[in-house]
């Protein structure tokens, strides 16, 4: 599977805005809306992901709420594949399965429709999200996919916040690809 050059990574990173103290003091938020608003950069990103995954014989693209919906649905369209949303509890209208995960102070949960993979035997699935930080949501989403008997080919992230260690934890259990590491 293909990766980007350092120059290509620098280009994409230059289209992402840093917002200090959002959503709370001390956080440096990586705002991808500026990348999404740059048609050349967004096309470049989507073309790269299409090229990386077009020969992987995928059956589904799964995206994590909410920015994973944008990237995942766009990629699903480019690859002519169905898109499956993973959402917070009580946001999906049909029967769901769920996966709980620990937060620094408490527990959270994500859900997916029970029939998301249409009873396909061993579907090949790609998980897409914008960012991996501590990894709680990503690990829960990967576990949710695995728990329904799907074959998670890879978990793909636009940005990996290396110092928070989420990708390191996830790599012990699943194959991952981070386009940008910061």
On whether the CB atoms of residues 147 and 174 are closer than 8 A, the answer is no
Residue tagged active-site, from 50, 65, 67, 109? 67
67 is catalytic: yes
CA distances from 111 to 4, 23, 67, 154, 164 (A): 32, 24, 16, 19, 24
**What are the φ/ψ torsions at residue 97 (nearest 5 degrees)?**
-115, 155
Euclidean distance between CA atoms 138 and 147, whole angstroms = 14
Contacts of 113 (CB under 8 A, 6+ apart): 84, 92, 94, 95, 96, 97
The Cα–Cα gap between 74 and 72 comes to: 5
Cis peptide before 154 (omega within 30 of 0): no
Q: Is the C-alpha dihedral spanning 125, 55, 169, 173 positive or negative?
A: positive
Instruction: Return the active site residues.
Output: 67, 104
């Amino acid at each position: 599977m293909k990766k980007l050059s350092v120059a290509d990574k620098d280009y994409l990173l230059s289209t992402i805005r840093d917002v200090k103290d959002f959503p709370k003091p001390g956080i440096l938020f990586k705002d991808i809306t500026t990348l999404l608003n740059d048609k050349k950069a967004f096309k470049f990103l989507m073309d790269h992901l299409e090229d990386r995954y077009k020969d992987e014989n995928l059956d589904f693209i799964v995206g994590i709420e909410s920015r994973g919906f944008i990237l995942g649905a766009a990629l699903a369209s480019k690859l002519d594949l169905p898109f499956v949303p993973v959402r917070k509890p009580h946001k999906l209208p049909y029967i769901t399965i769920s996966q709980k995960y620990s937060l620094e102070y408490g527990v959270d949960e994500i859900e997916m429709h029970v029939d998301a993979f249409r009873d396909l035997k061993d579907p090949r699935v790609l998980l897409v999200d914008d960012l991996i930080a501590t990894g709680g949501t990503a690990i829960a989403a990967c576990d949710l996919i695995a728990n329904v008997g799907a074959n998670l080919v890879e978990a793909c992230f636009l940005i990996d916040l290396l110092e928070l260690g989420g990708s390191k934890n996830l790599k012990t259990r699943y194959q991952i690809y981070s386009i940008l590491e910061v």
